[in-house]
Amino acid sequence: MQNVTHKQITLRTACAVSVIFCTAPTIELIKNNQLPKGNLFDVAQAAGFLGAKLTPQLLPHCHPVAIDGMSIKFEYLDKEKHAEYVDEKAFDRTGILILGEAKSIGRTGIEMEMLTAVSVAALEIYDMLKPVDKQLEIGHIKLLEKRGGKSDRQLLYEDVSVCAVLVCSDSTAAGTRQDQSGKIIQEMLESFNAEVKHFEVLPDDKQQIQQQILEWVRQDVPFIFTTGGTGLGPRDNTIKAVEELLENKAEGIAEAMRVFGQQRTPLAMMSRGVAGTIGHTLIVTLPGSANGARESLQAILPAVFHARKMILGGGH
């Protein structure tokens, strides 16, 4: 199974549809409650619920998810009501449209659960109608919508242009230690279409850090990411250097990084990372360890890029 531990826990939604075609006389039997196997839709709904819950047992690569809300509705096929769900040719026949919706708060989407739900509901209806109808057919199974994943947040970073990365490390600046976190930050930013136009390595010296940040602010660099100097050591000066410059703090960004990191290591609570704005620039301080920098960015990307529009007076 694919590793999804790096994904953010967000609200995920999905909507799926299926159709089971049957004859007009069968529709009348359903409406008049004359089926030999009894009530149709209650049983089919229960079957759909079970199908959704058992999806990971049927599809090997599906992760177990918590289904926090789900509905399955049944309606007789109607062109005026259902044109947005199925092809026009479907309305040449009579049948039942099955519409399923679900919500989940988790790391992976819930679309496969909903596709399974509407499929199993259709199969249950097929089983209950087969004694009275020999022309049954299941079709038009498709996902109508999914929201909450990475693709849903594409607009948050479409217009990201320029970023700067500042590595704050005495040993890296002296050449006795190779940089890893800065390269990781650059790669992750570029994976979201950002251009890392500036990349510098400085010792963890307050004055030098402030001078470099202010120079990038003067150049109107939209985003500055620092790495290193967020701990409790005697030479961890990055936080003090940045805090003195900030005009507006963005505590939520730092909180999101610590919460995400705390789920992976108890040492995340030691990070003094801060975030905020100077002029039209957002500054985010990241840990100096490779894992710390990676996980902190996983916690805030791509949503943090939306800050640029807010800083410039755009909508929230």
β-bridge pairing 248-249 and 137-147: unpaired
Look up 127 and say whether it is catalytic: yes
Burial-class residue 278 by CB neighbours within 10 Å (0-12, 13-18, 19+).
middle
CB 229 within 8 A of CB 288: yes
DSSP state of 148: S
State the first-to-last Cα distance of the chain, in angstroms, to the nearest integer. Answer: 36
What CA–CA distance (Å, rounded) separates 36 from 29?
10
Residue with tokens 């590793």: 3
Q: Among 81, 122, 74, 76, which Cα is nearest to 99's?
A: 74
The pair of structure tokens assigned to 94 is: 């009579």
What are residue 71's phi and psi, to 5 degrees? -135, 145
Which one from 42, 68, 87, 127 is the annotated catalytic residue? Answer: 127
Cross-strand partners of 240 = none
23 touches 94 (CB < 8 A): yes
Question: 210 by DSSP, 3-state: which?
Answer: helix
Which residue shows structure tokens 């004359």?
34
List active site positions. 127
